[in-house]
């Protein structure tokens, strides 16, 4: 047989060349198109032999549509399949939506983890509170450090955010440099740490930045976020002028805010009680790392009752309406040793995470009903976001001057507002991306070249799995339509020994006419059995299905909803 022609050989080589060409790709598994669950992958190398790093590994929180679910994680099956090529996980900061999945998902990956000292200490404290949690192999770094991981050289750049030691990452590769901002803002006078490092960002921009993967959370808001120091001054004025107890609820990770509140209380001659396990854990870590300065000791719950009302400040968890958090318990007056009363003040030094609005409103209403004053950031400066508004984004683009802009960290509206801004700033390429799409950043123009599996994993008690694995879809249905268990006992002659036994859960007791729904369902089950010829009752599956359908239809006729029905058939 003759060999291939020259032109055919050239075509064969051209088909093979892209597979051998080293590419720089970006793949978000979470955090783009949603708030939370941040997990980004960067890959470098030929398509058949890439090396990877992961940036962040965060959680989201389950809403009412996922009853019983504790946490929501990004589905990591894609990188699990390439685990041998994953070199490390690098964490930008210790907010739950950026590091909260590490303890649960790391056993599936088992790679080195790079964090700042505060993140590492908080992770260790969290691990001690979770029996069986793995010990992670952590390498520490600080803002300003440069380190190599496989083909990636990473520089940590100091930025300002609402937590200690946040960093942006300049990720250098042979194909170019990517600036991954993490969460950031511009604040000339932060409550803790140094301002965002403009000089270093400008210098990296001068070197040349291929792509900017940037926070979009506040991209719909014009102007600049107020400084944390302004919030500190406002809280100090409010605490100084309060007549009764003051309770301030904020994110437990906002150490700068907690310190500002404690300093304001000290200056007003008040004592401070911390409430909430995560609040105490973060403060313990911050104290060990000498981040809180010279503050008086916090008081214990057992001593709270001895403090005069006008001398008490409570810093507590629950700003997002969590039903089991400290604030929710106080709003219901269910705490055994700490209480609020008429004339006291509760300050929400936070903003609601999308999806939590109803739960937060319920707590506010419960407080107001008891005569407790509620103060929010729409009436006084009691909170400021840790994310950049549009003027801050403009400055970042001015400093970094990327060739490619990829809006990240936000829902669809935030991402589109950010993309529109980047286009107005004449960024050569603006790419609208979503989770699971593989974006080739280099060589050539940026383009989506593949899609990888994405989705959600659910932590439900001690187990982690998909919605199907965890039975969450059925649980959701149960929450809407209830469940009916039916026991059918057949005699040796395949006749009903007695009326079917029915156990309904979550169904009304009576129909519109006042008749017992239980009785209606029992009659439906018995009628279904009796309608089956005796000879066919040997097939228990036929009996089960007939009874299931009949009971569901009877419930629908009486109630207007079809419950889940489980039927057991026995013979004896």
Distances in whole angstroms, Cα of residue 195 to Cα of each of 92, 176, 184, 292, 438: 16, 27, 10, 18, 33
pLDDT in tens, 525-568: 999 999 999 989 999 999 999 999 999 999 999 999 999 999 99
* pLDDT given at position 324: 86
Domains, the chain, ranges and CATH?
18-223+385-465 (3.60.15.10), 228-375 (3.40.50.10710), 482-571 (3.10.20.580)
Distance of CA 416 to the CA centre of its chain: 21
Q: Could you tell me if 143 and 155 are in contact, meaning their C-beta atoms sit under 8 angstroms apart?
A: no
* pLDDT over threshold 80, residue 520: yes
**pLDDT, average across residues 495-503:** 94
Q: Determine which helix (DSSP H) or strand (DSSP E) holds 177, and give its type and residue range.
A: strand 176-180
Q: Cα(6)–Cα(25) distance, rounded to whole angstroms? A: 33
* pLDDT over threshold 50, residue 515: yes
pLDDT interval class at 4 (50, 70, 90): very low
Q: Could you tell me if 468 and 75 are in contact, meaning their C-beta atoms sit under 8 angstroms apart?
A: no
* pLDDT over threshold 80, residue 2: no
* pLDDT over threshold 80, residue 14: no
Copy the structure tokens of residue 143.
């803002």
- Size (the chain), residues: 572
The proportion of the chain whose per-residue pLDDT surpasses 90, expressed as a percent, equals 85
Contacts of 166 (CB under 8 A, 6+ apart): 92, 93, 158, 159, 160, 182, 183, 184
* pLDDT over threshold 80, residue 455: yes
pLDDT in tens, 206-215: 999 999 999 9
Q: Cα(235)–Cα(258) distance, rounded to whole angstroms? A: 11
With a threshold of 0.85, does the pTM exceed it?
Answer: yes
Instruction: Count Cα neighbours of 176 within 13 Å in the Cβ-side half-sphere.
Output: 24
pLDDT in tens, 557-566: 999 999 999 9
Q: Compute the radius of gyration of the chain from its Cα atoms.
A: 29
Phi, psi of 311 (to 5 degrees): -115, 10
Q: Could you tell me if 173 and 44 are in contact, meaning their C-beta atoms sit under 8 angstroms apart?
A: yes
Q: Could you tell me if 312 and 270 are in contact, meaning their C-beta atoms sit under 8 angstroms apart?
A: yes
Phi, psi of 172 (to 5 degrees): -95, 135
Instruction: Count Cα neighbours of 532 within 13 Å in the Cβ-side half-sphere.
Output: 24
* pLDDT over threshold 70, residue 10: no
Residue of 393, 562, 526, 473 lying closest to 68 (CA atoms): 473
Structure-model confidence comparison of residues 308 and 466, the more confident one: 308
Q: Cα(72)–Cα(399) distance, rounded to whole angstroms? A: 35
* pLDDT given at position 354: 74
Which DSSP symbol is given to 42?
A: E
* pLDDT given at position 11: 41
Q: Cα(54)–Cα(82) distance, rounded to whole angstroms? A: 12
Distances in whole angstroms, Cα of residue 534 to Cα of each of 360, 528, 547, 572: 58, 12, 15, 15
pLDDT in tens, 59-100: 988 777 787 888 999 999 999 999 999 999 999 999 999 999
pLDDT in tens, 20-51: 799 999 999 999 999 899 999 999 999 999 99
pLDDT in tens, 166-184: 999 999 999 999 999 999 9
pLDDT in tens, 336-394: 999 999 999 999 999 888 778 899 999 999 999 999 999 998 889 999 999 999 999 99
Q: Cα(52)–Cα(44) distance, rounded to whole angstroms? A: 7
pLDDT in tens, 244-262: 999 999 999 999 999 999 9
pLDDT interval class at 460 (50, 70, 90): confident
* pLDDT given at position 19: 59
Q: Cα(267)–Cα(281) distance, rounded to whole angstroms? A: 24
Q: Determine which helix (DSSP H) or strand (DSSP E) holds 26, and give its type and residue range.
A: strand 23-30
Q: Cα(362)–Cα(321) distance, rounded to whole angstroms? A: 8
* pLDDT over threshold 70, residue 120: yes
* pLDDT given at position 466: 87
Residue of 82, 28, 2, 5 lying closest to 432 (CA atoms): 28
Q: Is 294 exposed, middle or buried (0-12, 13-18, 19+ CB in 10 A)?
A: exposed
Q: Could you tell me if 349 and 380 are in contact, meaning their C-beta atoms sit under 8 angstroms apart?
A: no
* pLDDT given at position 18: 56
Q: Cα(516)–Cα(510) distance, rounded to whole angstroms? A: 5
């Amino acid at each position: 047989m003759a060999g291939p022609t020259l032109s055919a050989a050239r075509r064969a080589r051209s088909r093979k060349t892209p597979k051998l060409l080293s590419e720089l790709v970006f793949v978000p598994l979470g955090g783009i198109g949603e708030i939370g669950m941040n997990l980004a992958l960067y890959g470098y190398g030929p398509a058949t032999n890439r090396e990877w790093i992961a940036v962040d590994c965060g959680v989201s929180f389950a809403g009412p549509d996922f009853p019983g679910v504790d946490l929501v994680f990004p589905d990591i099956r894609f990188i699990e399949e390439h685990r041998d090529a994953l070199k490390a996980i690098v964490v930008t900061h210790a907010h739950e939506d950026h590091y909260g999945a590490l303890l649960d998902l790391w056993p599936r990956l088992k790679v080195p983890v790079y964090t700042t000292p505060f993140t590492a200490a908080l992770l260790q404290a969290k691990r001690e509170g979770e029996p069986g949690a793995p010990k992670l192999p952590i390498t520490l770094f600080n803002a300003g450090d440069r380190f190599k991981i496989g083909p990636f050289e990473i520089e940590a750049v100091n930025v300002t955010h609402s937590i200690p030691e946040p960093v942006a990452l300049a990720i250098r590769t042979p194909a170019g440099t990517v600036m991954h901002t993490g969460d950031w803002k511009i604040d000339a006078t932060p409550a803790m740490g140094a301002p965002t490092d403009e000089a270093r960002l400008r210098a990296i921009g001068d070197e040349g930045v291929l792509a900017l993967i940037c926070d979009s959370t506040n991209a719909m808001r014009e102007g600049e976020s107020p400084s944390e120091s302004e919030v500190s001054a406002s809280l100090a004025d409010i605490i100084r002028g309060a007549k009764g107890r003051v309770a301030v609820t904020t994110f437990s990770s906002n150490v700068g805010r907690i310190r500002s509140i404690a300093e304001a209380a000290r200056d007003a001659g008040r004592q401070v009680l911390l409430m909430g396990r995560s609040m105490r854990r973060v403060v313990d870590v911050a104290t060990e790392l000498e981040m809180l300065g010279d503050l008086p000791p916090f008081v214990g719950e057992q001593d709270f009752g001895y403090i005069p009302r006008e001398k008490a400040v409570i810093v507590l968890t629950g700003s997002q309406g969590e039903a089991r958090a400290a604030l929710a318990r106080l709003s219901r007056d269910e705490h055994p040793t700490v209480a609020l009363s008429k004339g006291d003040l509760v300050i929400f030094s936070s903003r609601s995470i999308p999806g939590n609005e109803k739960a937060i409103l319920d707590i506010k209403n419960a407080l107001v009903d008891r005569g407790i004053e509620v103060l929010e950031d729409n009436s006084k400066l009691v909170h400021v976001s840790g994310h950049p508004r549009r003027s801050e984004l403009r400055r970042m683009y001015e400093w970094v001057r990327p060739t490619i802009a990829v809006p990240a960290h936000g829902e669809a509206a935030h991402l589109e507002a950010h993309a529109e801004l980047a286009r107005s700033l004449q960024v050569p390429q603006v790419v609208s991306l979503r989770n699971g799409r593989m974006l080739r950043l280099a060589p050539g123009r940026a383009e989506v070249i593949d899609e990888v599996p994405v989705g959600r994993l659910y932590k439900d008690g001690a187990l982690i799995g998909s919605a199907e694995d965890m039975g969450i879809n059925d649980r959701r249905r149960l929450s809407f339509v209830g469940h009916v268990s039916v026991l059918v006992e057949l005699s040796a002659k395949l006749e009903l020994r007695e009326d079917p036994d029915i156990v309904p859960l979550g169904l009304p007791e009576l129909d519109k006419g006042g008749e017992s729904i239980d009785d209606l369902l029992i009659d439906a089950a018995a009628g279904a059995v009796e309608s089956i010829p005796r000879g066919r009752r040997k097939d228990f599956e036929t009996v089960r299905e007939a009874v299931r359908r009949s009971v569901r239809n009877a419930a629908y006729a009486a109630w207007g909803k079809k419950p889940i029905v489980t039927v057991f058939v026995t013979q004896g």
